[in-house]
Structure 1
Amino acid sequence: MIHKRIIKGLIRKEFIQIFRDPKMIAAIFFIPIVQLTMFGLALTSEVKNIEMVVVSKPSALVREVKTRAIASGWFKRVQNVEETNVADPTELLTTYQAEAVLVAPNKGLEYALERQNSPIQILINATNAQRAQQVNAYITQILAKVAAHHGYQLGGPAQLALDTRILFNPQLSTTDFMIPALLVMTSFIILMIVGSMAITKEKEMGTMEKLISSPASTADILLGKVLPYFFIGIGVVTLMLCVGVFGFGIPFRGTFWQFALNGIALAACALSVATLISTIANSQQQAMMGGVLVLLPAVLLSGVFFPVDNIPVGFRWICYLNPMMYACTNFRNIILKGGDYLLFGKYFGILLLMAITLATLAYKNFKSKLN
């Protein structure tokens, strides 16, 4: 049974403890801004597993472009896309069916090679700016080799015109790509650290026995300890978004309700993991070490710095158990692409399911420890 009056008192007590400690205030509000400023530039890695679709009439030239692309090791085959019957090539990028789309004139690639005034259009998803630059360079290089093989040369007398359009991040700004990811990483780290130390601090100070002997139930104690950090987490996420939009000038093309729901699910996941760790640890030092053991792989396997597609298939399944990966993809989808509803609903649903599962595990483990 949940007692609102008891929970309100525990929340008030927790907020008083938080704001009495200057170090805690610095950790919650100052460190995220510093990290956001320091890591505003992206750390990139080698680009592989590019999903490219060639929208053109079937021909030997189209097959040669595809063969060279696959043989290069940069690209991979796109399944379930009928390339000869694509009504809107941009839709392939919006729905994540492809990362790049090569669109030939209606009469095909051969016509574009014979009539140099007929441009070939390249559509690229540039939510990852530096990756988009390399994708553009790869495609241009392949087209140049194919054109040379047929007696044409890019930039030569028989010039093949390319019309490249960069979508979602026209300026190819690494900041626009990194800020949504840093928002996830920093808020998750802060909530994990301060949240995991909330219960272990009571154990070290010897006040846990007083809470157990009080009329408060297990749910009352957990909600009273966790909810203050949950509200603070939502505030931190909102603060970082404001810094990103007004300080770094990143666009915000989605809706705020999508952003808020994704932030709530992220905070719930982070605090559920933190609570689970604190029910296992007996001291703040143990909680800190447990948090580090969880955070390091969670950050590296989230797509924040390294694309998930670059991770070997044998280890990639771990990424799908990582709530940071879904939160990061969803924030980029909301902030940069306008928040595709299908993608948002899918990833938000997964985050919510993870939060409920982790919270249930933390509750059961905490209750068993009390018993």
Structure 2
Amino acid sequence: MKTRILKGFIKKELIQIFRDKKMIAALFFLPVLQTIMFGFALKNEVKNIKFTIFAKPSDYIARKIQKKAISSGYFKYIDNINSMDFSNVEKTITSKKVEAVLVAPKENFANAIDKGKPIQLLIDATNAARARQIEVYIKAITLDVIRGYKQNSNANNFITLDTRILYNHTLDTASFMIPAITVMSTFIVAMLICCMSITKEKEQGTIEKLISSPVTSLEIILGKTLPYAIIGVLIICFIIFIGTLIFNVPLRGYFWQILITGILFIWTALSLAIIVSIAAKSQQQAMIGCFIILLPSILLSGILFPVENISSSIRWICYLNPIMYAASNLRNIMLKGNDLLLFWQYCCALFLIALTISMFSIKKFKSTLN
């Protein structure tokens, strides 16, 4: 392999990339937009909960629960429906006036707690994920208020839980999503832009000039992919910098671990780009082919939905997905940062996937050139 030829390829590709304003926008605007959206706008935390308590006006425990719910910041609207008949409580939820109603027994909360009677909680579960979070919030607030009441009473057999949240004690969505967005943005940009570039060469007929020139197929592949590998590494560094500086995402591991993970992952993305570009005859087909790979890869990666929640019949596909290993590795590096064994396990998985796909892509590319 001639270094001079490879340098010429890389220089030509970089000039072509930065000459196209649309290409620059796609390379840098998309990762920034995704980072801002998931950092600021798209949150997993459930907020603005419409919650009310069905209890007598004289029930001081109900008032404490109400006050604590308001001060938590998760409840936007709390209305007292004491004047309503119990038969209308469910209608209030049906009409979307409230999302959750805590119903006290006929006497009051204090007597119900002392006698061990159940306290009913009604939740609108049309959005199941939101309903589960609402249940956790209200139970936690109610338990805290009851704990304070129990300390001032003679009631016994009350169990308390001492809970510790590790690695992300504030349950901040940005800390969880920024590592995943780093992987997702890099995958989209590296694969899509590289694939479009190679397909454009085929459309314009310049790929035939490269074939007829005194260069090997490996030099062509490296010359077409290395510039995008460099850009992919820069995108990873850029998003990590934004995440740690603006969103206060911790970086408890080492930066070299992020670079190794990023390089292995970009290698996989560019190998997939070569395969798609070989099959595509136009840039439109290349774009469609990329999205056919991108959509299931992202959905089956654990970025948006836990892998454990996916049906066991198709869960095996997740373990062939490079995005899953890269996202999990970055989350462990940034949030935990102390498990080298797990780090190298993920890297080995990425290496095997990248090596397999790249060998297949090089073989297909050589046969296409021939």
Give the structure-1-normalised TM-score: 0.70
Matching residue of 1:226: 225
Per-residue deviation at 1:136? 11
Task: Give the Cα–Cα distance (whole angstroms) in 2 for the partners of residues 222 and 239 of structure 1.
Answer: 26
Task: Give the Cα–Cα distance (whole angstroms) in 1 for the partners of residues 327 and 197 of structure 2.
Answer: 26
CA offsets 1:49-105 (integer angstroms, 9 cap, x no match): xxxxxxxxxxxxxxxxxxxxxxxxxxxxxxxxxxxxxxxxxxxxxxxxxxxxxxxxx
Per-residue deviation at 1:275? 1.1
Matching residue of 1:324: 323
Q: Counterpart amino acid of 1:36? A: T
Per-residue deviation at 1:260? 0.8
Q: Counterpart amino acid of 2:9? A: L
Per-residue deviation at 1:187? 0.9
Per-residue deviation at 1:266? 1.1
Task: Give the Cα–Cα distance (whole angstroms) in 1 for the partners of residues 44 and 160 of structure 2.
Answer: 29
Task: Give the Cα–Cα distance (whole angstroms) in 2 for the partners of residues 265 and 204 of structure 1.
Answer: 30
Matching residue of 1:290: 289
Matching residue of 2:33: 34
Per-residue deviation at 1:161? 2.7
SS of structure 2 residue aligned to 1:166? coil
SS of structure 1 residue aligned to 2:164? strand
Task: Give the Cα–Cα distance (whole angstroms) in 2 for the partners of residues 259 and 135 of structure 1.
Answer: 36
Distance 1:154 1:327, change over 3 A: farther
Per-residue deviation at 1:155? 6.2
The two structures, once aligned, show a CA RMSD in angstroms of 2.5
Matching residue of 1:66: none
Task: Give the Cα–Cα distance (whole angstroms) in 1 for the partners of residues 162 and 149 of structure 2.
Answer: 14
Task: Give the Cα–Cα distance (whole angstroms) in 2 for the partners of residues 293 and 278 of structure 1.
Answer: 13
CA offsets 1:198-232 (integer angstroms, 9 cap, x no match): 21111111101110000010001000000000000
1:195 aligns with 2:189: no
Q: Counterpart amino acid of 1:302? A: S
Distance 1:317 1:43, change over 3 A: farther
1:338 aligns with 2:344: no
Task: Give the Cα–Cα distance (whole angstroms) in 2 for the partners of residues 137 and 26 of structure 1.
Answer: 42
Matching residue of 2:261: 262
Task: Give the Cα–Cα distance (whole angstroms) in 1 for the partners of residues 133 and 175 of structure 2.
Answer: 17
1:176 aligns with 2:179: no
Per-residue deviation at 1:160? 2.3
Per-residue deviation at 1:284? 1.0
| Matching of residues 14-163 of structure 1 within 5 Å | 14-40=13-39, 137=136, 156=150, 157-158=155-156, 159-163=158-162
Q: Counterpart amino acid of 2:202? A: K
Q: Percent identity, please.
A: 51
Matching residue of 1:274: 273
Is the 1:184–1:324 Cα contact (8 Å) retained in structure 2? yes
Distance 1:268 1:154, change over 3 A: farther
Per-residue deviation at 1:197? 1.1
The runs of 5 or more residues in structure 1 that have no matched partner are 46-129, 145-151
Per-residue deviation at 1:31? 1.2
Q: What is the count of residue pairs matched by the alignment?
A: 276
Task: Give the Cα–Cα distance (whole angstroms) in 2 for the partners of residues 43 and 171 of structure 1.
Answer: 13
Distance 1:5 1:253, change over 3 A: same
Per-residue deviation at 1:306? 0.4
Matching residue of 2:247: 248
Is the 2:278–2:365 Cα contact (8 Å) retained in structure 1? yes
The runs of 5 or more residues in structure 2 that have no matched partner are 46-128
Per-residue deviation at 1:175? 1.1
SS of structure 1 residue aligned to 2:163? strand
Matching residue of 1:204: 203
Is the 1:176–1:251 Cα contact (8 Å) retained in structure 2? yes
Per-residue deviation at 1:171? 1.1
Per-residue deviation at 1:134? 5.5
Task: Give the Cα–Cα distance (whole angstroms) in 1 for the partners of residues 331 and 134 of structure 2.
Answer: 19
Matching residue of 1:126: none
Q: Counterpart amino acid of 1:15? A: L
SS of structure 1 residue aligned to 2:165? strand
In our comparison, the structure showing a higher alpha carbon Rg is 2
Task: Give the Cα–Cα distance (whole angstroms) in 1 for the partners of residues 252 and 332 of structure 2.
Answer: 9
Q: Counterpart amino acid of 1:356? A: L
Task: Give the Cα–Cα distance (whole angstroms) in 1 for the partners of residues 254 and 134 of structure 2.
Answer: 29
Per-residue deviation at 1:137? 4.1
Matching residue of 1:365: 364
Matching residue of 1:351: 350
Q: Counterpart amino acid of 1:260? A: L
Task: Give the Cα–Cα distance (whole angstroms) in 2 for the partners of residues 223 and 256 of structure 1.
Answer: 25
Distance 1:136 1:346, change over 3 A: farther
Is the 2:187–2:266 Cα contact (8 Å) retained in structure 1? yes
Is the 1:251–1:336 Cα contact (8 Å) retained in structure 2? yes
Distance 1:319 1:155, change over 3 A: farther
Give the structure-2-normalised TM-score: 0.70
Distance 1:280 1:187, change over 3 A: same
Task: Give the Cα–Cα distance (whole angstroms) in 1 for the partners of residues 7 and 232 of structure 2.
Answer: 18
Matching residue of 1:238: 237
SS of structure 2 residue aligned to 1:305? coil
Per-residue deviation at 1:5? 1.1
SS of structure 2 residue aligned to 1:167? coil
